[in-house]
Amino acid sequence: MSKGGIKDKVAIIGADMSKFGERWDKNQYDLLVEATEGAFKDAGITKDEVDAAWVGIFYYFTGLSGTLVEDALRLDGKPVTRCENYCASGMDAFRNACFGVASGAYDIALACGVEKLMDEGGSGLPGFKIFGHPIYPLPSAPAMFCMAATRCMHEYGWTKEDLARVAVKNHENGLHHPKAHFKSPVTIEQVMKAPMIADPLGRFDCCAMSDGSAALIITVPELAESYAHSDDYILVKSNAISVYTMAPWYWPSYDFTHFPATVKACEMAYKEANITNPRKEIDLAEVHDCFTITELLNCQDLQFCDRGKAVEELKKGTFNWDGETAINPSGGLKSFGHPIGATGCRMITEITKQLQGRAEGRQVPNAKIGLAHNLGGAFSVCSVTILGKNE
Partner 1 sequence: MIGIKSYGAYLPKNLLSRNLISKAWDFPAIPGSKAIAGIDEDTITMSVEAGLDCMLGIDPKTVDGLFFATTTQVYTEKDSASLIATVLDLRENIITIDFTDSLKAGTTAMTRAIDTIKANNDVKSILVIAADTRTPEPSTMWEYGFADGAAAILIADDDKLPISIEDYYSISANTTGPWKRTEQDKFIRTFEPKTDAQFYFNSMRNVILELLKRNDLKPYEIGHAALYYDNPRMHARLAKSLKFPQGVAQNGLFFQIGDLGTPMPFMLLISALKRPKPDAKIILAGYGNGADGILMQVKDKNMVKELNKTHVALGYQKNMEALDNYSIYISNKKLLDKDRYTRKSSAVIVWRETDSIYQMYGNKCKECGLIQYPRMFTSCFKCRTTNNFEKVKLQLKGTIFTYTLDHLIGGEYYETPVPRCVIDLDGGGRILLDMTEIKNPENNVKIGMRVELTFRRIHEGAEFINYYWKCRPKRGRS
CA–CA dist 217, 16 (Å, integer): 9
What 3-state DSSP class applies to 217? strand
206 labelled catalytic: no
Q: How far is the CB of 89 from partner 1 (least distance, A)?
A: 22
Of residues 225-284, which lie at the interface with partner 1 (CB under 8 A)?
245, 247, 249-254, 256
The secondary element (H helix, E strand) that includes residue 350 is helix 340-355
Contact status: 1 vs partner 1 (CB under 8 A): no
Q: Using CB under 8 A, which of 142, 174, 341, 376 touches partner 1? A: 142
Each residue 32-71 as x (binds partner 1 by CB under 8 A) or -, in order, gives ----------------------------------------
CA–CA dist 320, 92 (Å, integer): 27
Distances 118 to 89, 211, 214, 289, 316 between C-alpha atoms, Å: 18, 6, 17, 20, 37
CA–CA dist 364, 159 (Å, integer): 29
Of 171, 176, 181, 338, the catalytic one is: 338
DSSP state of 369: E
Q: How far is the CB of 130 from partner 1 (least distance, A)?
A: 5
Contact status: 81 vs partner 1 (CB under 8 A): no
Nearer of residues 24 and 250 to partner 1, judged by Cβ = 250
Q: At what angle do helices 292-301 and 260-273 cross, to 10 degrees?
A: 50
Contact status: 199 vs partner 1 (CB under 8 A): yes
Each residue 94-133 as x (binds partner 1 by CB under 8 A) or -, in order, gives -----------------------------xx---xxx--x
Distances 61 to 67, 72, 239, 368 between C-alpha atoms, Å: 13, 15, 28, 38
Residues 6+ positions from 252 with CB-CB distance below 8 Å = none
Contact status: 154 vs partner 1 (CB under 8 A): yes
Cβ neighbour number for residue 276 with a 10 Å cutoff: 10
Q: Which of 232, 272, 224, 214 is nearest to 11 (CA)?
A: 224
Of 83, 87, 207, 290, the catalytic one is: 87
Give the interface size with partner 1 as a residue count (CB under 8 A): 39
Contact status: 194 vs partner 1 (CB under 8 A): no
Contact status: 143 vs partner 1 (CB under 8 A): yes
338 labelled catalytic: yes
Contact positions vs partner 1 (CB under 8 A) = 123-124, 128-130, 133-143, 146-151, 154, 195-201, 245, 247, 249-254, 256
Active site residues: 87, 338
